[in-house]
């Protein structure tokens, strides 16, 4: 099968690989689609840890075609999404506290273990979740980003009913954050660049007010989804005194930001790294109850062979979520 891999020499390339074998406790998925994430671009640029050679892609939507020894055969033929940890140590303080996302020995799909930019992928059966019937397999690639947003915003809750929330950066994470903040009962504004026309139109349809410049000290909570230094600086300006700053986006490098605002304004700064079983449950509940709508956010699905074009699209204002499909 063909796969998009990060190689030992550091390049990303399309290569041929053997179809992976299924071990006990594992299942093999036929991949329907796998989302291309900002993290994939950071992995390609050596700005995010990985262990090559490895097949990239962690936002996987697929169908179970093989169940490993002793596994539950009722998974066969089911459409599924899967949590991103292939393995964690299970004995460290973080694992034992249920915070497997913070395990130092965590091996994630698409960076340390072979991921979903291929026709087939093997994952632990423990990580599977059935895709709700009303969600298209292509749209299901958004469950992983939604679980990450839930990790940042809902556990514990960072947005309260009646509050003013500002979401900075109308990419996929920003648009999912807008929906989560609206469900929480906040009045939501979204700040983007002038070139973000398409993304901002979607934000507006979702119910966010579009702002081109963020009012100073006007928001109870600011949710920074761009990872860009200008976005982070705008967030520190826009949050009110005693307010909350939530980091969702990744910068990928050291950035210069007005960090003294944390002190002057007594800000609460928080984030969420990747996802946990709890945040996946939240994401599935929100979609199952139709409180969050994933459709319309996957704007481009390209075959694996066109991965370079797909990676380039991720940074363009034309795209919201880009996916690769075998």
Identify which of 62, 85, 61, 81 has the alpha carbon closest to the alpha carbon of residue 129.
81
> Three-class SS of residue 36?
strand
Q: Hey, what are 312's tokens?
A: 């380039």
Of 37, 60, 152, 222, which one interacts with Zn ion (CB under 5 A)?
37
The H or E element spanning position 102 is: none
**Cα–Cα dist 169/98, whole Å:** 30
Smallest separation (angstroms) from Zn ion to the CB of 7: 21
Identify which of 296, 267, 123, 280 has the alpha carbon closest to the alpha carbon of residue 199.
296
Of 55, 88, 261, 279, which one interacts with Zn ion (CB under 5 A)?
88
Question: Length of the chain in residues, anyone?
Answer: 326
Nearest residue (CB) to Zn ion, 88 versus 120: 88
Segment 135 to 174, residues that bind Zn ion, using CB under 5 A:
none
Smallest separation (angstroms) from Zn ion to the CB of 154: 17
Q: Does 322 bind Zn ion (CB under 5 A)?
A: no
Smallest separation (angstroms) from Zn ion to the CB of 102: 8
Smallest separation (angstroms) from Zn ion to the CB of 323: 11
**Cα–Cα dist 154/322, whole Å:** 25
Nearest residue (CB) to Zn ion, 39 versus 261: 39
Q: Does 89 bind Zn ion (CB under 5 A)?
A: yes
Q: Does 41 bind Zn ion (CB under 5 A)?
A: no
Smallest separation (angstroms) from Zn ion to the CB of 120: 20
Of 3, 95, 222, 232, which one interacts with Zn ion (CB under 5 A)?
95
Q: Does 287 bind Zn ion (CB under 5 A)?
A: no
**Cα–Cα dist 277/290, whole Å:** 20
Give burial (CB, 10 Å; 0-12/13-18/19+) of 3. buried
The dihedral through the CA atoms of 211, 230, 153, 179 has a sign that is positive
Smallest separation (angstroms) from Zn ion to the CB of 144: 5
Smallest separation (angstroms) from Zn ion to the CB of 209: 27
Part of the chain binding Zn ion (CB under 5 A), chosen from 98-106, 219-227, 239-247, 277-285: 98-106
Cα 69 to chain centroid, rounded: 31
Segment 51 to 80, residues that bind Zn ion, using CB under 5 A:
none
Segment 105 to 124, residues that bind Zn ion, using CB under 5 A:
none
Contacts of 171 (CB under 8 A, 6+ apart): 38, 199, 225, 226, 320
196 to 215: interface string for Zn ion, x by CB under 5 A? --------------------
Q: Which residues bind Zn ion (CB under 5 A)?
A: 37, 88-89, 92, 95, 103
């Amino acid at each position: 099968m063909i796969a998009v891999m990060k190689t030992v020499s550091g390049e990303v390339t399309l290569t041929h690989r053997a179809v992976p074998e299924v071990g006990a406790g594992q299942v093999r998925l036929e991949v329907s689609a796998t989302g291309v994430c900002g993290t994939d671009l950071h992995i390609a640029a050596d700005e995010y840890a990985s262990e090559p050679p490895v097949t990239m892609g962690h936002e996987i939507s697929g169908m179970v075609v093989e169940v490993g020894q002793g596994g539950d055969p009722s998974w066969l033929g089911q459409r599924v999404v899967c949590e991103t940890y292939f393995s964690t140590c299970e004995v460290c303080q973080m694992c034992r506290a249920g915070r497997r996302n913070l395990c130092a020995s965590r091996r994630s799909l698409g960076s340390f273990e072979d991921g979903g930019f291929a026709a087939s992928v093997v994952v632990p059966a423990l990580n599977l979740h059935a895709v709700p019937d009303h969600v298209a397999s292509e749209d299901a690639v958004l469950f992983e980003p939604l679980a990450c947003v839930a990790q940042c915003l809902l556990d514990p809750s960072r947005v309260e009913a009646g509050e003013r929330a500002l979401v900075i950066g109308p990419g996929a994470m920003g648009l999912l954050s807008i929906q989560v903040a609206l469900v929480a009962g906040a009045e939501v504004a979204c700040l983007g660049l002038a070139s973000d026309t398409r993304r901002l139109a979607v934000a507006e349809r979702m119910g966010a007010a579009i702002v081109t410049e963020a009012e100073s000290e006007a928001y109870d909570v600011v949710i920074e989804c761009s990872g860009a230094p200008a976005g982070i600086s705008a967030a520190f300006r826009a949050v009110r005194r005693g307010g909350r700053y939530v980091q969702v986006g990744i910068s990928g490098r050291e950035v210069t930001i007005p960090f003294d605002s944390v002190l002057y304004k007594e800000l609460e700064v928080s984030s969420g790294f990747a996802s946990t079983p709890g945040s996946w449950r939240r994401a599935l509940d929100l979609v199952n109850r139709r409180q969050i709508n994933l459709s319309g956010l996957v704007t481009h699905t390209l075959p694996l062979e066109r991965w370079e074009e797909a990676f380039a699209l991720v940074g363009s204002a034309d795209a919201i979520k880009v996916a690769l499909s075998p």
